[in-house]
Structure 1
Amino acid sequence: MHATTTLTRYDADLDGPVLGMPGVTALVEVLAERGVQFEDVLAGTGITPPMLRDARARLSHRQKMALFTNVQRLSPEPAIGLVAGQRQRISDFGVYGYGVVTSATFGEAVDFGMRHVRLAGPVFEKRFRVEGGTALFEGTPMFELGPLLPLLTEFWFSSIYTLMGKVLERPFEARALLLPYPAPAHAARYAEVLGCEVRFGAPVMQWQFDAALLALPLPNANPMMAGVCAEFCARMLESVEAEPEVVRAIKEACLASPSALPGVHEMAARLHLSPRTLHRRLEDAGTSYQAIADGIRQRLAAELLEQTDVGMDEIAERVGFSDVSNFRKAFRKWTGRTPAETRAALRGRKD
């Protein structure tokens, strides 16, 4: 069998605030446990300690490269990328992570992950395909990484291995990992952490596993909720390439945690802008911060109303309202109808 290749490309803008923080937090925490101070790891990056505890904070590729440069220079642990990757959690990835873990099969989880991986803050351009009985993940750096390539590669593969294990609720069994750089001094740690043969000095970056795993049913499958997550992610990002960078950054930050959207001053700080500059840029783009936030909440609420039987209290909480009556008022203001009326109308349209 030869499956169609899935290729995920990204804009390699080095200064746009488009990357998430989960991996950054894991790296800094592992270093702190080994006696390295937060201030030293973050020096010169523009990343502040409060951002490390905020899953919605964003940073640029340039900031991420500066951080990894510090990590590589300061770490007393040569396999820091492998160790930090083992700290990853599904909950760190918001709607994206929930969509992966609730997929019906492992193959659907891989497909969802590839289609929406932009939300996870990628550094590598990713490709997935099936050839015969072998499934292949491949990666290509989006820009020149130089001496940081091994560290970033270790962190990426260790993170994915950890997340796959959580999705499957069993160790992920790969056949081989091919890497395009010489074996480092700690090469033996790769096989220990990733559980497969590792071949250094290869012409490609490629992870091979048995394609039969793609048919495995997932223990936390909820196809209805996975569908809601997929539709929501796709609709929110379908025109992202045509949008101004500031709008895209806000949408991706909010999408990571729609139940706890930051205020405009907090969002401005995350984007390294003054509130006045943020307002001006959004005005130039023909929108406002409140309009973007309300649009995200409204779309997610509508998806949940139409596609699930989740109660109003839970929907209100998921879209950021502590009180269901305030949610009803806001939803009526957005749409002119109550949530209950909308649910009935949407379901009637499908019948």
Structure 2
Amino acid sequence: MTSVDAVLDPAGRAVIPPTVLTGVLDVGRREGSSVIPWFSGTGLEPGLLQAPGVLVSLHQVRTVLRRALPALDRGPLGIEIGERDALLSFGLLGVAMRASGTLGDALALAEELHQTAGSLLDMELEDLGEHTAIRFRERWPDPDLVAFLCEEALTSTLVMIRSMLGEQSWVPSRVALTYPPPVHAAHYRRTFRCPVGFRSATNSLVLPSALLRRRLATAHEPTRRAALEACRTMSAQGEPPSDLVASIEMMMAGHLRRPLSMRDVAERLHVTERTLHRRLSESGVRFRDIANRVRERRATLLLARSSVPISAVAAEVGFSDAREFRRAYLRWTGRTPSRARQDGGAAAGPVRTAG
């Protein structure tokens, strides 16, 4: 049994979209692997990773990957995941990139906002004169994961560039990697179709600087602005929750009709209820407040849909009595469900009480 203390760091913050984890999970399921043990004690539930707004921490990602990769010991897994459709890897950032004026504009957006797409490596552009290097830096040193992380990052970037240029045959000038050649090194050359160097000083994909001036056929400024605004909103949402709090929110959101108790959550985290209470106290929050916040968010979203009766909203967030839901919603937001519906479901503010 894995303790929550072993994988959820009090200082860990849930800031990363689980893009890479969902790719690994898809491969595991497709191959019939037992994926549940990969997530044991992390506070993450495989079935909820693709829910809107889910974020995970570096600690959680690292824990799952260190369990999943040995179970999927099958060659260039990172390349396979990176070769997915570009928008699966880049999401809204990919939309903004494709709608940019030039390839250089698009890569500048990626440099600024790559973390909003779930990137597990940091990215930066370096001007080398006639060439430009897209460099990838590890956020944590881990020899067991570096090849996988670089495979995914460089391959998804290659796929995105080809998508933006509309040229599936485009190849970089060269690729450099800091680690020794893996046993499947030949696959790298088939994927990148350019010189690939190992034991290099940096992890990078190099392309001609002149290519950055290439106009994109998919350029569309209104689309770029809208997608860019959404990305920047995601990256400026204030202090992110701890990975423990984010994990509890994810669990609660997945079981709203029959809300989980603190004991239920503690069992899923493989700790005692007393330990969970202590860890939440260290984070400065109470379990009841987290549960109410999740219920309020979902209720407010449903109230914005005039076709959903208030009694159905109440049931959806775990209330058998609509009057009890009305009192709770008034306590949480300072307004009744009917008033929230008249306001179009716009949030009035955070949950105000723990009741």
Q: How far did 1:137 drift?
A: 0.9
- Alpha carbons 2:121, 2:137 under 8 Å: kept: yes
Q: Aligned pair 1:49/2:49, yes or no?
A: no
RMSD of aligned residue pairs (Cα, Å): 4.1
- Alpha carbons 2:82, 2:89 under 8 Å: kept: no
1:192 alignment partner, one of 165, 168, 190: 190
Matched residue, 1:99: 96
Q: Aligned pair 1:77/2:74, yes or no?
A: yes
Distance in 2 of aligned mates of 1:187 and 1:279:
51
Q: TM-score, normalised by structure 1?
A: 0.65
Q: How far did 1:147 drift?
A: 1.9
Matched residue, 2:130: 133
Q: How far did 1:202 drift?
A: 0.7
Matched residue, 1:245: 241
SS in 2 for 1:245: coil
Q: Gaps spanning 5+ residues in structure 1: where?
A: 1-11, 254-261, 298-319, 336-351
Q: Aligned pair 1:216/2:225, yes or no?
A: no
Distance in 1 of aligned mates of 2:43 and 2:345:
41
Q: Deviations over 1:116-170 (max 9, x none)?
A: 1121223222211222121111122112212211121112212222233233332
Q: Aligned pair 1:179/2:177, yes or no?
A: yes
Matched residue, 1:112: 109
- Quickly say closer, same or farther: Cα 1:143–1:13, change in 2 above 3 A: farther
Q: How far did 1:199 drift?
A: 0.1
- Alpha carbons 2:180, 2:198 under 8 Å: kept: yes
Distance in 1 of aligned mates of 2:121 and 2:11:
13
Which letter maps to 1:67?
V
Matched residue, 1:230: 228
Q: How far did 1:24 drift?
A: 1.3
- Quickly say closer, same or farther: Cα 1:92–1:121, change in 2 above 3 A: closer
Q: How does 1:276-287 map to 2 (within 5 A)?
A: 277=286, 280=289
- Quickly say closer, same or farther: Cα 1:175–1:55, change in 2 above 3 A: farther
1:28 alignment partner, one of 25, 37, 42: 25
Distance in 2 of aligned mates of 1:333 and 1:70:
41
- Alpha carbons 2:16, 2:118 under 8 Å: kept: yes
Q: TM-score, normalised by structure 2?
A: 0.65
- Alpha carbons 2:91, 2:117 under 8 Å: kept: no
Bigger CA radius of gyration: 2
Matched residue, 1:157: 154
- Alpha carbons 1:26, 1:88 under 8 Å: kept: no
Q: Gaps spanning 5+ residues in structure 2: where?
A: 1-8, 270-275, 308-337, 349-355
- Alpha carbons 1:21, 1:55 under 8 Å: kept: no
Q: How does 1:312-331 map to 2 (within 5 A)?
A: 330=343
